[in-house]
Chain A
Amino acid sequence: MNRLLQYATLSFAVGLVAGCVTINIYFPASAAEKAADSIIDEVWQLAPPATPPQAPKEKTP
């Protein structure tokens, strides 16, 4: 009986670990898309505009 319990525990553990490994091996495509979009946002918007805005002209009285 004790032995059975041991086997059960062991297989349970193996199953859990296998589950974790499986999840970590498969590429999370939608998460990657989200990550890519957030990086692209930063890279393409971080830069100042190609044509710098002109300084406001001083008003001549």
Chain B
Amino acid sequence: MIRLLAFLFGCVLGTAAFAQGNLEINTPAIDNYKSSMGQRHAQLTPWYQSGAVGLAKDGTVFLRDPGAVPLAQRQAVSRLVAAENADRAGLYREIARANGNPGWEPDIRATFAQRWANRAPAGWWVQSATGIWQQKK
């Protein structure tokens, strides 16, 4: 009985924590993804600005205009995009897992997709939910 009460108490506390409206995003794995993506960002920025790389509707980055990248650099940019997408996939998965709901991954991904697009500066290319690429004004 005491155990049950303790469990219920924990449960109520957990509920209260949820009501505060915060997701757990402070785990070592999430920190790793953040710093890895942060370091890569400087290398990706020129390609976001030129429109070669855009922010896709599924929360990834996409080499939407390979022709805008000089041939000599195309492979390097492809690698950057692939590495960024691997980190992003890991980040979404890890946030869902850290909050005890691996099934939230698609929702986390969709939320991020919308926020990346929303926060992108003018001039960058973002893909709308219907799949159309638009340059942010």
Taking beta carbons and an 8 Å cutoff, which residues of A are in contact with B? 13, 16-17, 19-20, 23-25, 27-40, 42-44, 46-50
Contacts and interface: CB of A to CB of B under 8 A. Distances in A.
A39 B25 CA distance: 8
B107 A34 contact: no
Contacts of A20: 11-12, 14-15
Given A23-B18, A31-B21, A46 B35 contact: yes
Contacts of B40: 47
Contacts, number: 89
A36 B45 CA distance: 19
Interface residues of B, number: 35
B41 interface: yes
B100 to A, nearest CB: 7
A49 B25 CA distance: 25
Interface in B34-80: 34-35, 37-42, 45-46, 49
Tell me the interface secondary structure of chain B in the complex. Answer: helix
Give the interface centre of B23, B42, B116 by most chain A CB atoms within 10 Å: B23
A30 B15 contact: no
Tell me the interface secondary structure of chain A in the complex. Answer: helix
A31 B18 CA distance: 9
A41 to B, nearest CB: 8
18 contacts: A20-B12, A23-B18, A25-B101, A28-B18, A29-B111, A32-B23, A32-B111, A38-B25, A42-B34, A43-B38, A43-B41, A46-B34, A47-B38, A47-B39, A47-B40, A47-B42, A47-B45, A50-B42
